[in-house]
Amino acid sequence: MSTKQILLSGFGGQGILFAGKMLAYKGMMEDKNVSWLPSYGPEMRGGTASCSVIVSDEAVGSPIVSNPDVLVAMNLPSLDRFEDSVVPGGMIFYDSSLVERPVKRSDVVAYPIPATKLAGENGFSTLANMILVGKILQALGEFDEEKVLNTLNKVIPPKRAEMIEANMKAMKLGAEL
Amino acid sequence: MSEKILMKGNEAIAEAAIAAGCRHYFGYPITPQTEVAAYMAKKMPKIGGTFLQAESEIAAINMVYGVSSTGKRVMTSSSSPGISLKGEGLSYLAGADLPALVVNVQRGGPGLGGIQPSQSDYFQATRGAGHGDFHMIVLAPNSVQEMAQLTVKGFELADTYRMTAMILADGTLGQMMEPISLDFDIAPAPAKPWATTGTKMERPHNIVNSLFLKPEELEKHNFLRYDRYRTIEENEVMYEEYMMEDAEICVAAFGIASRVSKNAINEARKQGIKVGMIRPITLWPFPKAPFMKAAEKVKAILSVELSMGQMIEDVKLACECKVPVTLCNRVGGMIPSPDQVLKAICDLQK
């Protein structure tokens, strides 16, 4: 049995919900059971937005992730708030260009990714989230280029198809780190 | 089967309503159900339907009354404080025996409360949506797929029994996305010879009305309505049993609470605790028989709710308190964790 509980968190506007959607969609297209639950409180309007994603071989029970296997922190308040909740042996991916401290826990695997900086340098400044998604999939051993592209084709609506290429580039960049 | 797509619970309700032939939606925005209205606003104009953002929740429910009188499938949706405002209209719909689908994506209360998920409108939905003797059929989905399926079912039940069917969901179910198949089995709507469609001078006038000034007449209407309710109680109860075959402890939970409980039950089973769950899908009519049956063999029932303990009253009535019934809850927008439910199960095991 395999269940991955993923918690993504960051400022509103960083693409947290979309990154979660990408992970959920990819799971669904591989016939896994998935759920995606956004925070919809006042934090959406200026503070920290978060999103719970579960990808599992089993039916998903509660869609709320309180102890993630994978934490994605795109800003410092997110890491401060959720670092302790990660299960021992879990993974923490964080945007090291925005989070100015290392992960304190020694019983988790930390992946500092300067995602915002890399996104800016590579001409897709709004896609730091997708660099992280690429890295996560690669670290989980699930970065299959064809499957990732298939998923993107589903997640990105046809009227925004011109965004697919840049998203793919960002994810590949993340996966190659 | 059609391809699965990821969809929010609120959107699934809207899509299913359209599939069920609903072409009239009236509503007023309120978190956490606004996506229902947003989806309708986008879709209805493209399919010749009517989306109207009313000036208030009260206006919206009365627009529902109007359209329903003409025999068309119609709905409104809101969240807890907005449903309270609709109370008068719900009573009038009942009094006039009009079918309608009403969605409540609950948030914490009372008052304006908060915007996080809750199940604290259970009493309102199952007992006191408005004044007078009446019921609504209350359907409690626990997944995005069920949000859609029960919406279709709700329209069918509403038409069959000429009454309001309510989808009683919560903020989590409304906001979450899950894979969903949009392959619906839609039965054609029944004939509505009572509808006010214009006589064309070919038939007597139909009158839709909830005012009966002669008490003998009003009593007769109420008796007839309750005869119909008895038929519903006999035929339309829906529930799901999970691991009840050998259960010594029974969890009672609906909606999002049932999903949290499932995690806890799976964990408890790993620890060798024989626990199962009865999940009411219809809250009215309440699945009394399975609880009565469970009370013959389990040693306790645990009602897991996002309220101060509302469904627990129906559980106690259903099993006639033959076994202890205890409550495990969080309120005000908080959700019990699987660990909290697990601990409550373990406490009962002792």
The CATH number of the domain where A19 resides is what?
A: 3.40.920.10
> Any CB–CB contact under 8 A between B321 and chain A?
no
- Distance from A166 to chain B by nearest Cα, in Å? 23
User: Residue B3: its pLDDT value, please?
Assistant: 81
Question: Could you tell me which chain B residue has the CA closest to the CA of A39?
Answer: B175
Answer whether the bond into residue B29 is a cis peptide, omega within 30°: no
Per-residue b/e over B265-300, b at no fewer than 16 CB within 10 Å? bbbbeeeebbbbbbbbbbbbbbbbebbebbbeebeb
A38 in Cβ contact with B116 (< 8 Å): no
| pLDDT for A12 | 84
**Is B177 in Cβ contact with A64 (below 8 Å)?**
no
Rounded mean pLDDT, A67-75: 97
B105: helix, strand or coil? strand
Q: Give phi and psi for A113, each to the nearest 5.
A: -125, 120
Strand order in the sheet with A3-11: A109-113, A91-95, A70-73, A3-11, A48-56, A33-38, B177-180, B5-8
Q: CB–CB of B303/B291 below 8 Å?
A: no
State mean pLDDT over A39-64. 85
Contact state of B263 with A37 under an 8 Å Cβ cutoff: no
Determine the topology of domain B5-199+221-235 in CATH.
Answer: Rossmann fold (3.40.50)
Q: Is the pLDDT score of A7 beyond 90?
A: yes
Residues of chain B with CATH 3.40.50.970: 5-199+221-235
B239-349: CATH, from 3.30.200.20, 3.40.920.10, 3.40.50.920, 3.40.50.1980: 3.40.50.920
Q: Where in chain B is the domain with CATH 3.40.50.920?
A: 239-349
Cα→Cα distances B234→A86, B230, B240, B289, Å: 48, 6, 17, 11
Is A63 close to B335, i.e. CB distance below 8 A?
Answer: no
- Cβ-nearest to B259 among A33, A40, A61: A61
Chain A positions contacting chain B at CB under 8 Å are 21, 24-25, 28, 33-38, 40-41, 59-64, 66
Tell me which residue range forms the domain holding A54: 3-175
pLDDT at site B1: 46
| Of the partner residues B4, B175, B260, the one whose CB lies closest to the CB of residue A38 | B175
pLDDT at A47 over 80: no
Give B154→chain A minimum CA distance, Å.
Answer: 25
| Residues A128-141 pLDDT 10s | 999 999 999 999 99
Q: What is the pLDDT of residue A80?
A: 95
Q: What is the ipTM of this complex?
A: 0.93
Distance from CA of B54 to the nearest CA of A (A): 24
Between CA B221 and CA B223 the distance in angstroms is 5
Q: Do B179 and A33 touch (CB under 8 A)?
A: yes
Token pair recorded at residue B335:
């959700």
A6/chain B closest Cα distance in angstroms: 14
Structural contact between residues B303 and B122, judged by C-beta atoms closer than 8 angstroms: no
Count of structural domains, chain A: 1
Phi, psi of B53 (to 5 degrees): -85, 110
- Which residues in chain A are closer than 8 Å to B337, comparing Cβ atoms? 64, 66
pLDDT of residue A175: 96
pLDDT digits (tens, 9 = 90+) for B53-112: 999 999 999 999 999 999 999 999 999 999 999 999 999 999 999 999 999 999 999 999
Whether residues A37 and B115 touch (CB distance < 8 A) is answered with no
CA distance A25 to chain B (A): 7
pLDDT confidence of residue A83: 97
Does pLDDT of A42 surpass 70?
no
| Residues of chain B where predicted confidence (pLDDT) is lower than 70 | 1-2
**Which structure tokens are listed for B208?**
């839709």
Chain A positions in Cβ-Cβ contact with residue B6 (cut-off 8 Å): 21, 24-25, 28, 34, 36
Confidence of residue A44 (pLDDT cuts 50, 70, 90): low
User: HEC profile for B140-168?
Assistant: CCCCHHHHHHHHHHHHHHHHHHCCEEEEE
B323: helix, coil or strand?
coil
